[in-house]
């Protein structure tokens, strides 16, 4: 029976996160990745609620606030995540990210990211290989393409269909290159349920610094 915090997958993520050691300085970094519209934001909120119930301090960063528009999955994204968020936290200092204003099409205000027990980094590309050395947990959230597109257009409007199609192509290439699903520690489906792993043989141990 699901707990009051939503689907049981979120509770499993929270429990696993608190069992893992911190690798980002004093912070446990939990990367919640997967294709657009799969339910990552909802998952992050449910995980946050479970962690708070367990007495953990939690910060949440949404990569939607850091993409440089519809083609921002690559390019300057990760160097900015590292410089503005991960590196400061790794040294026990608060991060400070510049939020992208989608309506204006430009970066705008600055948002502080406090040093907490857990940082939930949510968004497509959050669990790329460069995060392996500092991530305590990598979570993959998936959903059928048709459902994801339906969710996206319900939020952004029919005029965004061309952008969604282009983004979906970009993310497919990204996930194939990064083997994100295969490298994830936990898999969740569109309903927030844990997807059983068939094999953990291809899960690599973190190596290197992952930071510039």
Residues in the chain: 212
3 state SS of 16: helix
Please, which pLDDT band fits residue 189 given cuts at 50, 70 and 90? Answer: very high
Q: How many CB atoms lie within 10 A of CB 159?
A: 8
Q: How many Å apart are CA 114 and CA 111, to the nearest integer?
A: 10
Indicate whether 55 belongs to any domain.
yes
3-state secondary structure (DSSP) of residue 135: strand
Strands 186-188 and 118-122: unpaired
CATH of residue 13: 3.40.50.300
Which of 35 and 6 is assigned the larger pLDDT? 35
Model pLDDT, residue 74: 95
pLDDT band, very low/low/confident/very high, at 211 (cuts 50, 70, 90):
very low
Pairwise pLDDT comparison (212 vs 27), residue with the higher score: 27
pLDDT in tens, 42-100: 999 999 999 999 999 999 999 999 999 999 999 999 999 999 999 999 999 999 999 99
194 falls within a domain: no
Residue 201 domain-assigned? no
Beta carbons of 163 and 14 less than 8 angstroms apart? no
Count of alpha carbons within 13 angstroms of residue 35, beta-carbon side:
26
Specify if 25 maps to a domain: yes
pTM (2 decimals)? 0.89
3 lies in some domain: no
Whole-number pLDDT of residue 130: 97
Identify the H or E element spanning 173: helix 161-178
User: Looking at the 3D structure of the chain, how many domains does it have?
Assistant: 1
Q: How far is CA 86 from CA 35, 61, 189, in A?
A: 22, 11, 27
Asked if residue 167 is part of any domain, the answer here is yes
The pLDDT, as a whole number, for residue 156 is: 87
Residue-range definition of the domain harbouring residue 164: 8-188
Beta-carbon count within 10 A of 105 CB? 10
Is the distance from CB of 38 to CB of 79 less than 8 angstroms? no
Task: Give SS3 for 79.
Answer: helix
Task: Confirm whether 195 is domain-assigned.
Answer: no
Count Cβ atoms within 10 A of the Cβ of residue 138 and give its class: 0-12 exposed, 13-18 middle, 19 or more buried: buried
Per-residue confidence (pLDDT) for residue 208, from 0 to 100 = 40
Residue 177 reports pLDDT greater than 60:
yes
Q: Is residue 181 part of a domain?
A: yes
Percent of the chain whose pLDDT exceeds 90: 82
């Amino acid at each position: 029976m699901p707990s009051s915090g939503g689907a049981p997958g979120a509770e499993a993520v929270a429990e696993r996160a608190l069992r893992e050691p911190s690798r980002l300085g004093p912070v446990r970094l939990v990367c919640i990745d997967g294709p657009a519209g799969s339910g990552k934001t909802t998952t992050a909120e449910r995980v946050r609620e479970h962690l708070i119930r367990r007495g953990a301090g939690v910060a949440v960063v949404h990569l939607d606030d850091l993409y440089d528009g519809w083609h921002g999955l690559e390019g300057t994204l990760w160097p900015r995540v590292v410089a503005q968020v991960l590196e400061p936290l790794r040294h026990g200092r608060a991060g400070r990210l510049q939020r992208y204003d989608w309506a204006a099409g430009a970066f705008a205000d600055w948002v502080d990211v406090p040093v907490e027990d857990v940082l939930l980094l949510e968004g497509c590309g959050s669990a790329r290989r460069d995060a392996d050395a500092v991530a305590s947990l990598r979570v993959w959230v998936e959903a059928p393409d048709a459902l994801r597109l339906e969710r996206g257009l319900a939020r952004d409007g029919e005029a965004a269909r061309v952008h969604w199609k282009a983004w979906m192509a970009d993310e497919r290439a990204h996930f194939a290159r990064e083997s994100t699903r295969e490298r994830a520690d936990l898999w969740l489906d569109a309903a927030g349920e844990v997807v059983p792993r068939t094999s953990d043989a291809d899960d690599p141990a973190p190596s290197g610094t992952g930071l510039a």
